[in-house]
Structure 1
Amino acid sequence: MVAAQAQKHPDAVALRWPDGELSYRDLQTAIQRLAGHLAGTTRAALFNDRSPELAIAVLAVLSGGGSYVPLDNTYPRGRLDYMLADSGADRLLCRAHLANLITIPDGCELEILDPVLDDLHASDLPEWGAKSAPEDLAYISYTSGSTGRPKGVAMPHGALANLNSWQVANSGSTVGWNTLQLWPLSVDVSFQEIFGTWSSGGTLVLIEEDVRQDPRKLLAYIDEQQIHRAFLPFVSLHQVIEAAVQQDRYPASLREIITAGEQLQIGDSVRKFFTCTGATLENQYGTTETHVVTAEKLVGDPAAWPVLPSIGTAITNTVVKIVDGDMQPVSAGEVGEICIGGIAVADGYLNRPELTAERFRVWPGPNIPAYLTGDFGRLLPDGKIEFLGRRDTQVKINGSRVELGEVESQLRELPGVSDALVTVHPTASGQNVLAAHCVRIPGTEIEESVLRDGLSQVLPRHMVPAHYVVLDAFPFTPTGKVDRAALAQALPTV
């Protein structure tokens, strides 16, 4: 799909970063050259910082018929060493300054990426594009494991090709569109950013890490770089929106924002941002073990958007059902576990047959691969799916079910609050209470009594948090999600 765009639009800009850019012709040359160095590589670990070399390496590995293993250079060395050894990679690709930050096991060769962009006018390059079957492995993405050891999700080409085809058909991205490359390669959304852009002839725009982590800088970068499309986790999106409202700055170039990873919530600032930009907002859902499997695109007047949008309906060639403990579909409106089937399902966890057997199943009867997500949901009358949170974090306070998203949405409407998350806090007596973690608008002070009184006016008593923590910013995990464990450490002991 990328090769087709390179043939159609060789002079279009494929990749842009603060110090330069590459046309599709030069991108193809760089990929061909690196693929030649990687001849015979079965599995390549990519250990790199955000750079053009890293994006090139992804496609070079796949075009040579191999699979890749993304390793985040911000992870602790012990975790990196474990993942590299566990993955069975026969080649490690990185830039020279990172080579001594990871232990290279026996049987794994080091390939330095620094020369990739040198002399892009070379001739006699190998043909670009090895044949890959749908069942061939494309990447291994490591996710947290309940045992304390990361587990590698083995994702085949078929699932990713299906998602990419759907994404390209579902988006307006084309030649001249700029898509922000925000996510670390270790997070699967990066695959959508990279391939959804290069398969549509668009330009992938890299971002420096200090800009990525600062909402005000990120907003300015989106505006200055004329970004048309961005994939943003909801927390980051909300922070950018708050910065936009405070500065009255709404990037006119924005056409599409896709969000995933956290419960999407529509408040006044979100409505204002999308009214002013005219962009669409798409709520996507999926797991590392399936990538994206459902989507709900919000269009029209943002004033009419629901506070808690659904996660929509299944993408092409994917089956999503709400099931009971026997994997039988429940009736519409009943709460059950979200179960995903069809081409989207990964092959399982690398070297972890017990864990694979626990979560990866088959539908009773039709023998279709399926994955039990551990997420709760219910089927709405219009056929869309309402996401109801994790199975292992369902919240009941004094016997009543509480939707944390509703409390968070109300918190964000209170004076001085830029962002908010609500967690469950167990007391010494074994009861659960709610804790509110609020990010203040810069330069403001927030009194707990104001928060408590404000919520008491709009929520029933059991939904009003017992504890309040005011922060300057949320702590984040390396994958871009809020670090809820770190938030819990700031709570009082009761």
Structure 2
Amino acid sequence: AYVIFTSGSTGQPKGVMIDHRGARNTIHDINHRIHLTPEDRVLAISSLSFDLSVWDIFGTLTAGATLVIPHPGTQRDPHHWNTLIHQHHITTWNSVPALFELLTEHRHHTHDHTPTLRTALLSGDWIPLTLPPRAHTTFPDLTLHSLGGATEASIWSIHHPITTINPEWTSIPYGKPLTNQTIHILDHHQRPRPPYTTGHIHIGGTGTALGYWKDPHKTNNAFTTNPHTNQRLYRTGDLGRYWPDGTIEFLGREDHQVKINGYRIELGEIDNTLTTHPDIHTTLTTTHTTNNTRQLTTYIIPTNPQTPPTHQEIHNWLTHKLPHYMIPTHLITLNELPLTPNGKINHKALPHPTTQNNTTHYTPPTTPTEHTLTTIWTQLLNPPHPLGTTHNLFQLGADSLLALRATAQADQNGLHLTLHDIFQNPTITQQALT
């Protein structure tokens, strides 16, 4: 039916081959669960290179529902999304949690409680435990669904309806398998793990991909036959455990892959790309969490420490090599990577990006507008050092959610600042001039 490419550890993306039967099975199951009808209207948020768009298009049209497509360039514009929700009476939302959180924040700040959406499908990343109750304050009649799986298993394979939040939970449960699909928690010998015991998540059943396009070696490594059941399985690289009732709890990755805003990223692909730069010798890409947002950080060892490339040069170079979601938020140049006595990389000794990326000379605010914006951003970012007007706010941890909060607070102080203004002008000095 289609091939979608995912990040590869060697720098060569892997093309996942999904057949019609697998995609059709997922689409019909989800449509049945959420009771999608010709009266529904779905907002298409996801890029066509992201497999959530497969359901947006074919799930919607299969049911005879209406697909509403936002204007180009509005991937981070909750105001535009909310306008479309009102104009077209959108009933169904499908995205990664971060984008739905943006919409929820926008409606909270604008005091919009119009009961439009009835269904939200959230997948591709951790769902904050605080998001469902906040969503229900602005969408009173909303039904929330947590979905999971892998590109290699026809969009989604597992589902959990979010009806209540148990105060003892540390995360939203992963859930139980979709119709005609199976989820297995196995040990290294592909034997089932008992409840509350961590194991490797495998997916089987109708949704399992045919393999990787023109790559039988990777296909054979990722898709195996269970010797105990003879079932063909895909090893996801995720860790999880059963609860006694059969619900699965997701526990994260077992390798160097990460998920950021729903995109599955091989950190090795970023490093392999960077080391093709003539002025870069070695890199190490990892993640840091700033203001509850996961961001990519790359440590760079230049070929010539006396004349290292500037971070702006590297960033500009990467924009032609990698998709936007794989470009590190933080770039930190080192003379060498810190090692443990055993010769392994000492991750604990790596400098934290919030202490490294703002070596810019401190410039105090001078105008009333700069004073107001400095106060706003200091409250939002809580930086370890005084915030200067020439510091790059995104290197300090700013993101879409914080930018949205900044626009709301600026508006309360009589300043008109849009999300576009903030993303195009990452310093307070620049924002004050917009």
Report SS of the residue matched to 1:358.
Answer: helix
Q: For residue 72 of structure 1, what is the aligned residue in structure 2?
A: none
TM-score normalised by L of structure 2: 0.62
Distance across 1 between alignment mates of 2:28 and 2:398: 41
Is the aligned partner of 1:388 residue 2:315?
A: no
Q: For residue 445 of structure 1, what is the aligned residue in structure 2?
A: 377
Distance across 1 between alignment mates of 2:173 and 2:210: 28
Q: CA deviation at 1:279?
A: 0.5
Deviations 1:260-313 (A, max 9, x none): 11111122x64122233121111110111102000111125x697955101100
Q: CA deviation at 1:209?
A: 2.1
CA distance change for structure 1 residues 254 and 443 in 2, over 3 Å: closer, same or farther?
Answer: farther
Aligned Cα RMSD in Å?
A: 3.2
Q: CA deviation at 1:243?
A: 1.5
Deviations 1:186-215 (A, max 9, x none): 211111112221222211111112233212
Distance across 2 between alignment mates of 1:261 and 1:208: 23
Is the aligned partner of 1:313 residue 2:176?
A: yes
CA distance change for structure 1 residues 143 and 393 in 2, over 3 Å: closer, same or farther?
Answer: closer
Is the aligned partner of 1:421 residue 2:301?
A: no
Answer yes or no: is the 8 Å Cα contact 1:442–1:472 preserved in 2.
no
Distance across 2 between alignment mates of 1:305 and 1:238: 22
- In the TM superposition, what are the counterparts of 1:320-339 in structure 2 within 5 Å? 320-339=183-202
How many residues align? The count is 300
Distance across 1 between alignment mates of 2:219 and 2:112: 47
Q: CA deviation at 1:216?
A: 2.7
CA distance change for structure 1 residues 425 and 472 in 2, over 3 Å: closer, same or farther?
Answer: closer
Distance across 1 between alignment mates of 2:173 and 2:25: 22
What amino acid is aligned across from residue 12 of structure 2 in structure 1?
R
What amino acid is aligned across from residue 227 of structure 2 in structure 1?
P
Report SS of the residue matched to 1:212.
Answer: coil
Answer yes or no: is the 8 Å Cα contact 1:420–1:436 preserved in 2.
no
Report SS of the residue matched to 1:236.
Answer: helix
Report SS of the residue matched to 2:172.
Answer: coil
Q: For residue 80 of structure 1, what is the aligned residue in structure 2?
A: none
Report SS of the residue matched to 1:183.
Answer: coil
Is the aligned partner of 1:274 residue 2:136?
A: yes
Answer yes or no: is the 8 Å Cα contact 1:281–1:299 preserved in 2.
yes
- In the TM superposition, what are the counterparts of 1:257-296 in structure 2 within 5 Å? 257-267=120-130, 270-277=132-139, 278-290=141-153, 291-296=155-160
CA distance change for structure 1 residues 199 and 306 in 2, over 3 Å: closer, same or farther?
Answer: farther
CA distance change for structure 1 residues 141 and 449 in 2, over 3 Å: closer, same or farther?
Answer: closer
Q: For residue 146 of structure 1, what is the aligned residue in structure 2?
A: 9
Distance across 2 between alignment mates of 1:146 and 1:153: 15
Distance across 1 between alignment mates of 2:70 and 2:380: 37
Answer yes or no: is the 8 Å Cα contact 2:113–2:137 preserved in 1.
no
Answer yes or no: is the 8 Å Cα contact 2:208–2:233 preserved in 1.
yes
What amino acid is aligned across from residue 294 of structure 2 in structure 1?
L
Distance across 1 between alignment mates of 2:48 and 2:175: 26
- Unaligned 5+ runs, structure 2: 259-287, 300-336, 340-344, 355-372, 385-394, 403-434
Q: For residue 76 of structure 2, what is the aligned residue in structure 1?
A: 213
CA distance change for structure 1 residues 168 and 186 in 2, over 3 Å: closer, same or farther?
Answer: same
Distance across 2 between alignment mates of 1:240 and 1:307: 24
Answer yes or no: is the 8 Å Cα contact 2:52–2:95 preserved in 1.
no
CA distance change for structure 1 residues 448 and 250 in 2, over 3 Å: closer, same or farther?
Answer: closer
Answer yes or no: is the 8 Å Cα contact 2:3–2:17 preserved in 1.
yes
Q: Percent sequence identity over matched residues?
A: 27
- Unaligned 5+ runs, structure 1: 1-137, 396-406, 412-416, 453-467, 476-494
Report SS of the residue matched to 1:161.
Answer: helix
What amino acid is aligned across from residue 163 of structure 1 in structure 2?
T
Distance across 2 between alignment mates of 1:361 and 1:238: 37
Answer yes or no: is the 8 Å Cα contact 1:321–1:329 preserved in 2.
yes
Report SS of the residue matched to 2:156.
Answer: strand
Q: Which has the higher strand share?
A: 1
The runs of at least 4 consecutive aligned structure 1 residues that moved more than 4 Å come to 302-307, 422-427, 433-437, 447-452
Deviations 1:416-438 (A, max 9, x none): x6x6226788872433349688x
Out of 431, 436, 442, the residue aligned to residue 346 of structure 2 is 431
Deviations 1:373-429 (A, max 9, x none): 01111112221111111111499xxxxxxxxxxx96xx7xxxxx6x62267888724
Answer yes or no: is the 8 Å Cα contact 1:244–1:273 preserved in 2.
no
Higher relative CO (Cα under 8 Å, sequence separation at least 6) belongs to 2
- In the TM superposition, what are the counterparts of 1:194-233 in structure 2 within 5 Å? 194-233=57-96
Answer yes or no: is the 8 Å Cα contact 2:195–2:242 preserved in 1.
yes
